[in-house]
Amino acid sequence: MSSFNKIVIVGYLGKDPEIRYTPQGTAVCSFSIATTEKRKDRDGQMQDVTTWFRVTAWGKQAETISQYLAKGSQLYCEGRLRQETYTDRDGAQRQSLEVTLSDFHFIGSSDKSGPPAGKQQGDKDAPADDSDQEIPF
């Protein structure tokens, strides 16, 4: 039996996407995205628990994300998850959750006059009005 690695995240960008290009000219875009959930602490008080993910997009997706999204933009993304270990500036071992993007959809309004929510740039099959579509979770 084969294995499967897929994550779905709906969250907010923590900073503006950073785009760069490989020597072969392929676009690579990196950004962080956060999800927040409410949990009760030991005293019964509601607390926000935020989880950060580092996301990497390639090619046309990278260019589209860097063109239309900015810090605070909401985004639906799918991809492959892996856990990376690194050493920070103080010499401490740290871990981060890394996602290689496979699909995304804009959610909410765009600060950079981008395509409408729920529609990818250049996505010919996406309806102009996504009010009849449901998010699959």
The single-letter DSSP state of residue 59 is H
Among candidate residues 110, 117, 48, 115, the one with its CA nearest the CA of residue 76: 117
Delimit the domains of the chain by residue range. Answer: 7-107
pTM: 0.73
1 pLDDT tier (thresholds 50, 70, 90):
confident
pLDDT in tens, 29-46: 999 999 999 999 899 999
Q: Which fold has domain 7-107?
A: OB fold (Dihydrolipoamide Acetyltransferase, E2P) (2.40.50)
Lowest mean pLDDT among 17-21, 36-40, 114-118, 126-130: 126-130
pLDDT at 109: 64
- The residue-averaged pLDDT of 118-131 equals 41
Question: Is residue 41 within 8 Å of 59, Cβ to Cβ?
Answer: no
